[in-house]
Amino acid sequence: MVVSLLIIIGFLVTASVSFYLSRQSALNTLVEHELPLTSDNIYAEVQRDLIKPRTVSSFMGNDTFLKDWILGGEQDVAAVTRYLKEVKQKYGAFTAFMVSDLTRNYYHAEGILKQVSEQDSRDDWYFRVRQMASDNELNLDPDMANGDELTIFINFKVRTSDGSFLGATGLGLNLANIKTILSDYRARYGNNVFFVTRQGDLLLHDQALPLASNLYKESGMSDVVNDILSTKEGRFSYRREGKTYLLNTRHIEELDLILCVEAEEGKAAEHLFTPLLITLLICALVTGVVLLLLLRALNHYQQELESVAWQDPLTGLLNRRAFADRYQRYQSSHLRSEKPLSLLMMDIDHFKAINDLGGHARGDDVLQLISGVLNQRLRPSDCLGRWGGEEFILLLPETNLDQASRIAERIRKEVEGSATILDVAEQAVTLSIGVATQRERLDLDLHVQLADTALYEAKNKGRNNVCCAS
């Protein structure tokens, strides 16, 4: 009864602490991952929608048809109208346009829209493009040809071969698809996603967003609104209508807009209550059984896991991870003593032919036999492992290059002369071996690279020999 009581009390305490930590983890996930990820996804959507139109606008700006048509006196309006209409339809743009600097005519897919004028403030974009140093720009403006729908325009200069300005052309993208994305994110994650201008005006948002038309009008944001509008990327917290909200912001330089992703803090832990109650009920019933099974299973699985963690399942040798760990242990002692540390990289010659002749089962048998040969004369301090495939690796502490070369030669001869290996493989089996020694700079990657280089040299010399790294 005492033990059971202790278990129940311990479980209740654990469950309470677990719920608290889970709640903190949920909040942390919301702040560190979910909100930034949503922001990144929407930013990627905006960027993806801009890459293709920018490329198309570049093609339009350099299209000889448009240049020749303008220089030819703009005689056939139907031709350029048809050109713009085909570009619009082919690339799914909201609008396609071209403005000639010779006549100041504004052409789009339906014909001539107007003549641009320096006296019309709505044409300021054209004269800005005319004066700018770069060939293109991206801006956000109402589209007169489509009922003043808010549109992202990609403007590109049209120039003659000598660089003279002929006009401006490009595409326009409707922002309705972005609003659809915002609604979709709200439906899936419960987050509010919206865009604001650098002046705080709410520009693009889901229709259900309960915010004022300008962030300065939101009393809960009064302490952070200036930071929101001036920070390139930021995370903020504020209260609105008695609830705490978390906000992740990101400045989209191409549009000069601020992307905001908002989430209610309390909703982060709502999904934890039901699992907590279910967990308390189930665990109260099975705690006793679990304790009994756990004690019995723990020792068994711990031994299994330790074996899997360091042992190659086929040969029983150290795997790569365990070998690297063992190398680290030798590294510190050899650096202090400045004694040499040699490494042998061994590769079975023509191992594919063995597999092709007898199948992978025969290849596995050969690998096991060779690992047995390599294991026969190891010193207690030596470290042997399977590096991968048909490669073995042998670490020889306190062994210089000459000594390591002699050991490698002995191994090569023993494998070549093994009758057992020959019987199983039904063909001659040999090793190519690369030897490398380090004394001052002990680094496994560098050490393996040197031994590998020597191994390749051994193979290039005809295989079945030993080469040492210089």
Q: Count the neighbouring beta carbons within 10 Å of the beta carbon of residue 459.
A: 16
Residue keyed to tokens 């908002």: 262
Q: Calculate the alpha carbon distances from 231 to 5, 199, 215, 251, 431 in Å.
A: 55, 13, 15, 8, 63
Q: Three-state DSSP class for 423?
A: helix
CA distance 360 to 447: 31
DSSP label at residue 340: -
Q: Which among 415, 399, 291, 297 is positioned nearest to 343, based on CA atoms?
A: 399
Structural contact between residues 245 and 264, judged by C-beta atoms closer than 8 angstroms: yes
Phi and psi (nearest 5°) for 333? -70, -35
Angle of CA points 258, 263, 264, to nearest 5°: 140
Q: Is 288 left (phi over 0), alpha (psi -120 to 50) or beta?
A: alpha
Taking Cα atoms as reference points, which of 231, 194, 238 lies closest to residue 213?
194
Instruction: Please report how the helices 35-61 and 176-189 are oriented relative to each other, as an axis angle in degrees rounded to 10.
Output: 160
Phi-psi region of 111 (alpha: psi -120 to 50; beta: other; left: phi over 0): left
Which pair of tokens denotes residue 268?
A: 């982060």
Return the amino acid letter for 216: Y
With vertex at residue 426, the alpha carbon angle to CA 420 and CA 428, rounded to the nearest 5 degrees, is: 80
User: Nearest CA to 327 among 407, 396, 402?
Assistant: 396
Task: Single out the residue of 21, 16, 1, 2 nearest to residue 283, CA to CA.
Answer: 16
Is the Cβ–Cβ distance between 193 and 182 less than 8 Å?
Answer: yes
390 catalytically annotated: yes
How many whole angstroms separate alpha carbon 137 and alpha carbon 130? Answer: 11
Element (H, E) at 40: helix 35-61
| Catalytic annotation, pick one of 118, 390, 398, 457 | 390
Angstrom distance (rounded) from CA 373 to CA 49: 63
Helix or strand or coil: residue 464? coil
Please list the alpha-helical segments (H only) found in 62-175: 64-71, 77-91, 124-131
Instruction: Please give the positions annotated as active site.
Output: 390
